[in-house]
Amino acid sequence: MSLQTQSKTYLNYINGEWTASSANAVEASLNPADKHEIVGYIQNSSKEDLDRAVAAAKEAQPAWRKLSGPARGDYLYKMANALEKHMDEIAETMTREMGKTFPEAKGETARGVAILRYYAGEGMRKVGDVIPSSDSEAFMFTTRVPLGVVGVITPWNFPVAIPIWKMAPALVYGNTVVLKPATETGVTAAKIIECFHEAGLPAGVVNLVTGRGSVIGQGLIDHPGINGITFTGSNTVGKQVGLGAIARGAKYQLEMGGKNPVIVAEDADIELAVEATISGGLRSTGQKCTCTSRVFVQSAVYDEFKEKLLSKVKALKIGNGLDAQTWMGPCASESQYNTVVHYINKGIEEGATLLCGGNKPEGEGLDNGFYIQPAVFEHVKPSMTIAQEEIFGPVLALIKVETMEEALELANDVKFGLSASIFTRNIGNMLSFINEIEAGLVRINAESAGVELQAPFGGMKESSSHSREQGQAAIEFFTSIKTVFVKA
């Protein structure tokens, strides 16, 4: 793995060409493991740049749509091959730009390759059904058409997987795309698009415009040339996307926060539950919408679970994600670090007991990074802020419960409903959990994070717009159904 030392400037990608913003302004992307290191500069684009990107996508769409599904799928296979070829470079950029460890970044990039190949195959699958008409001489069937131009607004926590799980289905079903990635990970986004360029994707089919959320993101929401918007990020911005899209009749899809519970029953395999709570709660520095944040433990096994958890959490190695010894990297940015510190202080103020972590770790190479020791709280009341709001950091809240009914009731007592796990050997507990937990992703004896690209992904309640991404579910957002009645 070669460390790059010079900072390059990355351009927008509009109509198949790399172009500087008309605003002539750039933004530095910093390494959260060392705030003095600039990973690269990205364009701080203007509304004019966005207009050009939308116009290019619009112009490219009729020809792209006219290609057969298998022909569009062939392009996706080429894009997958190019991404695979540059896997190490992209993963290293991701680690340097947002801090997750190199093995996690490489796994995510490999997932991007697999997503592209999955949707390449989708180009060969059916897009409709034949339905018996009440008129015996008529032929009735459904087919699907693309939306047109899709605006893709993505966060920094999965800077390869999320843009790709949105762009790949958009493209294979015949849409063209304008991508506005998170500013925090604009360089990683540019590197993905370099791969698509290398794969020979026709001009205008995918366009990249980096810049402020309030300018380029809002610009996409309001743009009359954008037919659908797919968004992952915070609930605050997600609501703005939904309202803006409704106001002008555009289709929209939102994936937002989580406050995901794990229930540890008294008959659970405690070692497994501890490992999964650590992996589900603290990997990626707790910055996944599917991360575990509340742990409900039955009183009979509470002390055993707590002791085992604490001894393992205290031993986790924190450091630069490029160091092979590191288990957990820094928070992705200074503002994310400040948010996590704010919530840890809030937990203490509201009366929870901090059992470990929550401080800035000391040690060689850690001074200039946004590092934080993973925090475990107990005596957390379900009404406390740290038990209700998404923290998006390495913070676990332990809550002792007497019965499974109590655990389920408290687990559901939040506005989110993304993912949830239970650890138990009892089939009755499993079935009650499957039936009653309010979550789009339900996991038994497995950590709360863990999304498979071929299965539907999305949340209940305020975690999503109630649509689903990934797998074959993606077709529902990226196409419209036409019901056709034919009579000779």
DSSP code per residue over 309-366: HHHHHHTPPBS-TTSTT-SB---SSHHHHHHHHHHHHHHHHTT-EEEE--SPP-STT-
Q: How far, in Å, are 322, 328, 329, 485 from residue 325 at the CA level?
A: 9, 9, 11, 63
* Residue 185 makes contact with ligand AKG by CB under 6 A: no
Residues in the chain: 488
* Residue 234 makes contact with ligand NDP by CB under 6 A: yes
Q: How far is the CB of 182 from ligand NDP (least distance, A)?
A: 4
Residue 60 or 150 having the CB closest to ligand AKG: 150
Asked if 254 contacts 218 with a C-beta cutoff of 8 angstroms, the reply is no
* Residue 232 makes contact with ligand AKG by CB under 6 A: yes
Catalytic residue among 37, 194, 255, 438: 255
Asked if 226 contacts 150 with a C-beta cutoff of 8 angstroms, the reply is yes
Asked if 220 contacts 212 with a C-beta cutoff of 8 angstroms, the reply is no
94 binds, among ligand NDP, ligand AKG, none (CB under 5 to 8 A by kind): none
Q: How far, in Å, are 177, 197, 338 from residue 15 at the CA level?
A: 11, 11, 39
Which residues have C-beta within 8 Å of that of residue 312, sequence separation ≥ 6? 274, 275, 278
Select the residue interacting with ligand NDP from 43, 157, 253, 470 (CB under 6 A).
157
Select the residue interacting with ligand AKG from 10, 158, 302, 371 (CB under 6 A).
158
Considering only residues 281-310, where is the footprint of ligand NDP by CB under 6 A?
A: 289
How much is the CA Rg of the chain, to the nearest whole Å?
A: 23
The piece of 193-201, 232-240, 317-325, 466-474 that touches ligand NDP (CB under 6 A) is: 232-240
* Residue 331 makes contact with ligand AKG by CB under 6 A: no
Here the tokens at position 476 are: 């529902």
φ/ψ (deg, to 5) at 137: -100, 5
Residue bearing tokens 């970044």: 105
Q: Give the integer Cα–Cα distance in Å for 227 and 248.
A: 10
Residue 287 or 429 having the CB closest to ligand NDP: 287
The piece of 92-100, 204-212, 287-295, 421-429 that touches ligand AKG (CB under 6 A) is: 287-295
φ/ψ (deg, to 5) at 73: -60, -40
Q: How far is the CB of 38 from ligand AKG (least distance, A)?
A: 26
Q: Give the integer Cα–Cα distance in Å for 25 and 46.
A: 9
* Residue 416 makes contact with ligand AKG by CB under 6 A: no
φ/ψ (deg, to 5) at 13: -125, 105
339 binds, among ligand AKG, ligand NDP, none (CB under 5 to 8 A by kind): ligand NDP
Q: How far is the CB of 216 from ligand AKG (least distance, A)?
A: 20
* Residue 288 makes contact with ligand AKG by CB under 6 A: yes
Q: How far is the CB of 271 from ligand NDP (least distance, A)?
A: 29
449 binds, among ligand NDP, ligand AKG, none (CB under 5 to 8 A by kind): ligand AKG
* Residue 276 makes contact with ligand AKG by CB under 6 A: no
| 139 closest CA partner among 127, 149, 129 | 129
Q: How far is the CB of 441 from ligand AKG (least distance, A)?
A: 9
Q: Give the integer Cα–Cα distance in Å for 247 and 229.
A: 13
Select the residue interacting with ligand NDP from 213, 225, 382, 450 (CB under 6 A).
213
371 binds, among ligand NDP, ligand AKG, none (CB under 5 to 8 A by kind): none
Which residues have C-beta within 8 Å of that of residue 119, sequence separation ≥ 6? 73, 76, 168, 169, 171, 172, 474
* Residue 266 makes contact with ligand NDP by CB under 6 A: no
Q: How far is the CB of 290 from ligand AKG (least distance, A)?
A: 4
361 binds, among ligand AKG, ligand NDP, none (CB under 5 to 8 A by kind): none
* Residue 477 makes contact with ligand AKG by CB under 6 A: no
The piece of 151-159, 246-254, 269-277, 304-312 that touches ligand NDP (CB under 6 A) is: 151-159
Residue bearing tokens 């986004």: 189
Q: Give the integer Cα–Cα distance in Å for 49 and 18.
A: 12
What is the size of the binding site for ligand NDP (CB under 6 A)?
Answer: 26
Q: Give the integer Cα–Cα distance in Å for 56 and 248.
A: 21
User: Is 97 one of the catalytic residues?
Assistant: no
* Residue 212 makes contact with ligand NDP by CB under 6 A: yes
Task: Show which residues are catalytic.
Answer: 255
Residues lying near ligand NDP in the complex (CB under 6 A) are found at: 153-157, 180, 182-184, 212-214, 217-218, 221, 232-234, 237, 240, 256-257, 289, 339, 390, 392
